[in-house]
C-alpha cells in the first residue's frame, strides 16, 4: 500500500484543531475543513495548511481522510451526504480514519459502503482530552485490519499511541467503555466530596488524601481541583458528548442482553445533569447537579449547608 503523504482533515474542534496541528508538524501535507469556515481559515493562516471549502476538496488526492466530529450521524453525512461529500471524491486505495467517539454499528456500516468503492476504514477514537491532544500523546483505540492500521500508523503516531483493539468498530466500543469507567469515577468521587463536606471535611484536603490513597482516579487527579473546586468548569469536554458516550456503552450492553445496573444508573444521572444544564455545558458541570442533590456546595470554601 502506498505511503501516506496527503491527509484531508475534517472537524477542527477542541480536539481536531490540535490533532491536525500535530499532523502538520509531523510533515504531512494537510488539507483542512470545518463547517465553521472562519475556523478553517484561522487554522490555514496559522499553520499554512491547505484550505478546503468543500468536502470534495478535502478528499481529492488524499491518501487518508481523518474525521474528528461530534457523532456518527454527522460522520455519515460527511462521508456520504447528498451533494458534497468525502466518499464520492476519494480514490480507490485511500483510507478513512474515523477518530470521533462514534457508534460501532454505524461505523461498521460505513466500512461496508466504503469497501464497495475500494476505500478502507479504521476507527481510532481517542482518550486524553484537549491537553493530551495538544501534547500529541493521546491514547488511540484502533479497530480495523492489520493492513489498514499498519498503513495509518505513522499518521496515528503523530497524535499519540496506537492501542489495537480488534476489528472495525472495536475502538469505538472500547472508547465508550473507557468513558463509562471515567464517568462513574467522576460521579462517585464528587458524591464522596459532598458527603465529606457535610461531615465537615475540607474538599481540597479530601482530594489530596484520595490522591495519596486507593480512592484515587483520573477525576480526583486531573479534574476535581482543576475544574470543580476552582469553579472553572472548562475542561474542554462537553457534557452532551459524555452522555453520548454513555448511551453508546449502554447500547452495546443492551444488544448483548447484559444486565448492567451501575452503568444504567450512571447514564441516567449524566443525562439528568445534561437536561438541567445550558447548551454547551462542560462535563465537569455535573458536579453542580450532584451538589444540588446532596444539598451542599464544594467550590465555595465558606459555604456551610450542614
Active site residues: 175
In the bound complex, what is the minimum distance in angstroms from residue 235's beta carbon to ligand NAD?
A: 7
Residues 131-170 close enough to bind ligand NAD by CB under 6 A: none
Cα–Cα distances in Å, from 46 out to 10, 50, 141, 185, 245?
A: 17, 11, 29, 38, 32
Using CB under 6 A, pick the residue from 14, 113, 222, 225 that binds ligand NAD: 14
- Evaluate whether 49 touches 62 at the Cβ level (below 8 Å): no
| Among the listed residues 7, 68, 158, 183, the single contact to ligand NAD using CB under 6 A | 68
The backbone torsions φ and ψ at residue 54, rounded to the nearest 5 degrees and listed phi first, read: -125, 155
Q: CB 301 → ligand NAD: shortest distance, Å?
A: 28
Name the segment binding ligand NAD (CB under 6 A); options: 73-81, 83-91, 205-213, 215-223. 73-81
Closest approach, Cβ 206 to ligand NAD, in A, equals 25
| 15 sits near ligand NAD (criterion: CB under 6 A) | yes
Cβ neighbourhood burial of 279 (10 Å; 0-12, 13-18, 19+): exposed
Q: Which of residues 185-204 bind ligand NAD (CB under 6 A)?
A: none
Count other C-beta atoms under 10 Å from residue 12's C-beta.
Answer: 24
Q: Residue 207 or residue 242: which is nearer to ligand NAD going by CB?
A: 242
- Residues 175/181/183/184 CA torsion (nearest 10 deg): 160
The piece of 29-37, 147-155, 200-208, 222-230 that touches ligand NAD (CB under 6 A) is 29-37
CB of 183 to ligand NAD, least distance (A): 12
Cα–Cα dist 252/126, whole Å: 19
Question: Does 52 sit near ligand NAD (CB under 6 A)?
Answer: no
Please list, in sequence order, all residues whose beta carbon lies within 8 angstroms of the beta carbon of residue 256, skipping any fewer than 6 positions away.
none
Residue 49 binds ligand NAD, judged by CB under 6 A: no
Closest residue to ligand NAD in the complex (CB)? 13
126-127 and 138-143 beta bridge pairing: antiparallel
Q: Measured from the CB atom, is 95 or 127 closer to ligand NAD?
A: 127
Q: Residue 11 CB, nearest distance to ligand NAD (Å)?
A: 4
Residues 6+ away with beta carbon under 8 Å from 83: none
State which of positions 225-284 bind ligand NAD (CB under 6 A): 236-237, 241
With CB under 6 A as the contact rule, the residue among 22, 34, 63, 291 that binds ligand NAD is 34
* Residue 106 within binding range of ligand NAD, rule CB under 6 A: no
Element (H, E) at 274: helix 261-275
Nearest to 50 by CA among 8, 10, 17, 85: 8
| Binding status of residue 60 toward ligand NAD by CB under 6 A | no
CA distance 81 to 98: 16
Residue 119 in the binding site for ligand NAD (CB under 6 A):
no
In order of 49, 115, 122, 136, the CA distances from 57 in angstroms are 13, 21, 21, 26
List residues near ligand NAD by CB under 6 A. 10-16, 33-36, 39, 68-70, 74, 77-78, 100-101, 126-127, 129-130, 236-237, 241
Amino acid at each position: 500500500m502506498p505511503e501516506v503523504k496527503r491527509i484531508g482533515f475534517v472537524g477542527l474542534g477542541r480536539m481536531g484543531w490540535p490533532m491536525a496541528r500535530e499532523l502538520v508538524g509531523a510533515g504531512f501535507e494537510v488539507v483542512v475543513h470545518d463547517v465553521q469556515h472562519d475556523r478553517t481559515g484561522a487554522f490555514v493562516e496559522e499553520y499554512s495548511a491547505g484550505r478546503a471549502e468543500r468536502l470534495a476538496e478535502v478528499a481529492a488526492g488524499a491518501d487518508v481522510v481523518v474525521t474528528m466530529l461530534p457523532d456518527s450521524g454527522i460522520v455519515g453525512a460527511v462521508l456520504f451526504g447528498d451533494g458534497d461529500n468525502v466518499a464520492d471524491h476519494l480514490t480507490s486505495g485511500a483510507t478513512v480514519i474515523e477518530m470521533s467517539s462514534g457508534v460501532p454499528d454505524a461505523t461498521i456500516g460505513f466500512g461496508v459502503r466504503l469497501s464497495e468503492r475500494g476505500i478502507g476504514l479504521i476507527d481510532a477514537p481517542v482518550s486524553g482530552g484537549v491537553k493530551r491532544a495538544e501534547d500529541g500523546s493521546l491514547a488511540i483505540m484502533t479497530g480495523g485490519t492489520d493492513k489498514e492500521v499498519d498503513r495509518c500508523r505513522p499518521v496515528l503516531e503523530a497524535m499519540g499511541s496506537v492501542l489495537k483493539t480488534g476489528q472495525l468498530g472495536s475502538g469505538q466500543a472500547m472508547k465508550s467503555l473507557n468513558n463509562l469507567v471515567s464517568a462513574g469515577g467522576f460521579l462517585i468521587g464528587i458524591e464522596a466530596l459532598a458527603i465529606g463536606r457535610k461531615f465537615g471535611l475540607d474538599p481540597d484536603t479530601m482530594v489530596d488524601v484520595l490522591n495519596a490513597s486507593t480512592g484515587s482516579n483520573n477525576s480526583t487527579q486531573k479534574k476535581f481541583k482543576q475544574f470543580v473546586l476552582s469553579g472553572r468548569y472548562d475542561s474542554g469536554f462537553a457534557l452532551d458528548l459524555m452522555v453520548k458516550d454513555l448511551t453508546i456503552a449502554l447500547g452495546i450492553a443492551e444488544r448483548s442482553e447484559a444486565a448492567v445496573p451501575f452503568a444504567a444508573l450512571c447514564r441516567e444521572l449524566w443525562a439528568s445533569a445534561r437536561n438541567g444544564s445550558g447548551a454547551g455545558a462542560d462535563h465537569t458541570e455535573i458536579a453542580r447537579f450532584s451538589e444540588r442533590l446532596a444539598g451542599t456546595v464544594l467550590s465555595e470554601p465558606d459555604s456551610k449547608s450542614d
